[in-house]
Structures are given as C-alpha cells and as structure tokens.
Structure 1
Amino acid sequence: MKTLIIAAALWLGTAIGAVAQQDDIRQTIRNQLDAFKSDDLATAFTFASPTIQGIFRSPEMFGHMVQNGYPMVWRPGTVVFLGLAEREGTLFQTVVIEDRSGKAHTLEYKMIQIDGRWQIDGVRLLAIDGAIA
C-alpha cells in the first residue's frame, strides 16, 4: 500500500509539472503573438532564443522576417494550441493560427528552456488547413 501511495504521488507530481510546463510554453508563444500584434518588436524579440537572436541580430530584422515569412504570426486571428510533443529531448508545441483571410495554418514551435525561461528556437509551417471552426 505504501508503495502504491508513493507511486501515485510521483505520477501526480510529474503530471502537474508537465501541465505547468505546457502552460508556460503556451504563454511564451501567446506573449510573442501579442507583442507582434502591438508592433512591439523589442518585446517579441525577447521570446526568441539566443540562436534566433544571433541570426537576425535586431528586433527590426526579426520583425521583417516574421512579417514577410509568417504573416499569420505577424497578425494572428484565432489561435488554437494543440499537442506538445517531445522528440530527442526537445519540445515542440503545435499551434493552429488563422490568418487575416480566415485560413488556418498549422505551425510547430520548437521550444528551449534557458535559465528557467521558455524561448522559441524556431517555427515551422506544417500545413494550411482551411478555416478554424
């Protein structure tokens, strides 16, 4: 009985930690989307990993890339978070974002944690699905 209680406590602790981790990841993505909507490139840039920041070097260059390469991220409509997956120790958050014309785009956000803070280490377009119901 004691073993069962310990196992249940460990499972519950892991489950609670996973939910908190997923919530933190989703909030990071939401915060960056909100910054783009407000044209706050400096804040949006802070949610990018050091690797991404090193590639684009400035909030303005980063914003230009997002505006031209990911217009659904630049001015998102409806945002729906799907699953969080782990592959080879890296977490990937799948997100469906509706663009201005109402088309739904499925994107995968690669997430890394640095000093306890989640950062976006890449975004990949998976599919254009149509409208979000």
Structure 2
Amino acid sequence: MMRALVLCLSLLVPTIGQAQERPANPEIEAVISGQMQAFRDADVSGAFEYAAPVIRRMFGTAENFGMMVERGYPMVWQPGEVTFGALREERGGLWQKVYVRDGAGALHVLDYEMKDVAGTWRIGGVIVLDESLSA
C-alpha cells in the first residue's frame, strides 16, 4: 500500500532540475563545428575565439588553451566524424551533446556548455561523458 502511494505521488510531482530538451540550434552547432574546424586547421587563435570569456580569462592565451585541448581533449584537437545530439537546458545552463569519432575509430560523447555572450554563442566548457565507447 505504501509503495503504491509513493509511486502515485512521484508521478504527480514534477522532477526538479530535470533536463528540458530544446529544438536543435544551428547557431550553436556552427560555433562548435567552427571551433573543431579551427583545430583541424591548426588555427589555435581562431579556435580560442569560440571560447566564452571565462575560458579565455582562465587560459590567458590561445597557446595555453591549445595545449590544454591537445592534451586533455585529443578527440576535439583532431576530430573525425562529428554528430550533434540533444540540446537541453540543465543545471542552469544550455548543454549540447556532441558525438565525436576520433582518428582511431573510438566514439566519444561530449557535453558542451554554451553561453550567450552579447547575443553570440560561445563555448563555456566541455565535459567528456562516461558514455564514450570503443569502435
């Protein structure tokens, strides 16, 4: 009886902090694609331009930023196939899921935090999700 009551109440109470999916945003996808293309082209300064101000302040120079990406996010440094997943509002921000296949064929799932900076989308951070898989 108690389980049935808990189940009924859980169905009636909305989940707080649950992600809300949003329609695809071509501008956000273009920013992420643009940064990845800049890395492919060895244009670290160009890639740094896509970073939100907090990231730019954290690393100070494009060179420092590039070293961090090359060492910590090799799948972004030289990405292979890139596919966009769900865009969602979560944890007080806007997050874009991105699937990246690296040169070795491994699939990586990344979460890009997107920031609106004076009407222009910028990348506020990237999290590698545990969903990343081998080929």
Is it true that 1:34 corresponds to 2:37 in the alignment? yes
Is it true that 1:129 corresponds to 2:130 in the alignment? no
Q: Secondary structure at the match of 2:133?
A: strand
**Cα-Cα RMSD:** 1.2
**Whole-Å separation in 2 of the counterparts to 1:72 and 1:105:** 7
**Whole-Å separation in 1 of the counterparts to 2:95 and 2:39:** 21
Using structure 2 for the length normalisation, give the TM-score.
Answer: 0.80
Match of 2:71 among 56, 68, 72: 68
Q: Give the CA deviation at 1:89.
A: 3.7
CA deviations on 1:40-82 (whole Å, 9 max, x unpaired) are 0111000001100011100000000000000000000000100
Q: Which has the higher contact order (CA 8 A, sep 6+)?
A: 2
Give the letter aligned to residue 28 of structure 1: V
Q: Give the CA deviation at 1:88.
A: 4.2
The aligned length equals 113
Q: Secondary structure at the match of 1:130?
A: coil
Is it true that 1:103 corresponds to 2:94 in the alignment? no
Give the letter aligned to residue 70 of structure 2: Q
**Whole-Å separation in 1 of the counterparts to 2:25 and 2:94:** 10
**Whole-Å separation in 2 of the counterparts to 1:30 and 1:97:** 11
More helix by share: 1
Matched residue, 1:44: 47
**Whole-Å separation in 1 of the counterparts to 2:91 and 2:27:** 20
Is it true that 1:90 corresponds to 2:96 in the alignment? no
Q: Secondary structure at the match of 1:102?
A: coil
- Could you tell me which runs of 5 or more consecutive residues in structure 2 were left unpaired when the two chains were aligned: 1-21
Is it true that 1:117 corresponds to 2:120 in the alignment? yes
Q: Give the CA deviation at 1:97.
A: 0.4
Matched residue, 1:80: 83
State, as a whole percentage, how many aligned pairs show the same letter: 41
Q: Point out 4+ residue stretches in structure 1 off by more than 3 angstroms.
A: none
Larger radius of gyration: 2
